[in-house]
């Protein structure tokens, strides 16, 4: 059974940085893309960033491009989200996710992901 556990969330002032981590277990981590999504209060969950199985391909939502960086360590079965220049509108619960199927792509749509973590809260104060 695939398990994803996020950590690293917290409260930070606007302009600050946080690094989220997601530890994966239950299958061969290096065969699957990984993604980060977020859900703000009263809003639908949205795509943040994705990384292909090798790390060769990454994609970002326009709202975080240039501020956030996704990376992975296949030896540690972990994916990270470095968040810089945080804004109050980045406040949300951040979820780590991985697709059901192995591929070489980096999916950007929520329905392409079958496994989700429990989420970690990020709050950015103004």
Closest by CA to 49, choosing from 11, 22, 13, 87, is 22
Pairing mode, if any, of strands 46-51 and 34-39? antiparallel
> Of all helices (H) and strands (E), which one includes residue 66?
none
pLDDT for the residue numbered 103: 87
pLDDT attached to residue 46: 98
Q: What pLDDT score was predicted for residue 120?
A: 98
pLDDT band of 44, cuts 50, 70, 90: very high
Rounded distance, CA 1 to CA 22, Å?
16
| Length in residues, the chain | 126
Query: In this model, does residue 14 exceed pLDDT 90?
Result: yes
Give the residue-averaged pLDDT of 109-115. Answer: 95
- pLDDT confidence bin for 6, thresholds 50/70/90: very high
Closest CA to 22 of 77, 101, 67, 64: 77
Query: pLDDT tens, 19-28?
Result: 999 999 999 9
Torsion from C-alpha of 37, 69, 83, 49, nearest 10 degrees: -10
* Three-state secondary-structure class, residue 112: helix
Q: Mean pLDDT in the chain?
A: 97
Q: What angle do CA 51, 34, 107 make, to 5 degrees?
A: 70
Is residue 51 very low, low, confident or very high in pLDDT (cuts 50, 70, 90)? very high
Structure tokens at 69: 């960086």
Task: Return the pLDDT at 13.
Answer: 98
pLDDT tens track for 57-105: 999 999 999 999 999 999 999 999 999 999 999 999 999 999 999 989 9
């Amino acid at each position: 059974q695939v398990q994803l556990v996020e950590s690293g969330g917290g409260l930070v002032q606007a302009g600050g940085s946080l690094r989220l981590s997601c530890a994966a277990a239950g299958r061969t981590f290096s065969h699957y893309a990984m993604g980060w999504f977020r859900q703000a209060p009263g809003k639908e969950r949205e795509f943040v960033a994705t990384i292909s199985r090798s790390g060769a391909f990454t994609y970002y939502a326009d709202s975080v491009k240039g501020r956030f960086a996704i990376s992975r360590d296949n030896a540690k079965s972990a994916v990270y989200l470095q968040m810089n220049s945080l804004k109050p509108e980045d406040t949300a619960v951040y979820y780590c996710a991985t697709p059901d199927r192995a591929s070489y792509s980096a999916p950007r749509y929520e329905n392409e992901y079958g496994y989700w973590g429990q989420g970690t809260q990020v709050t950015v104060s103004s």
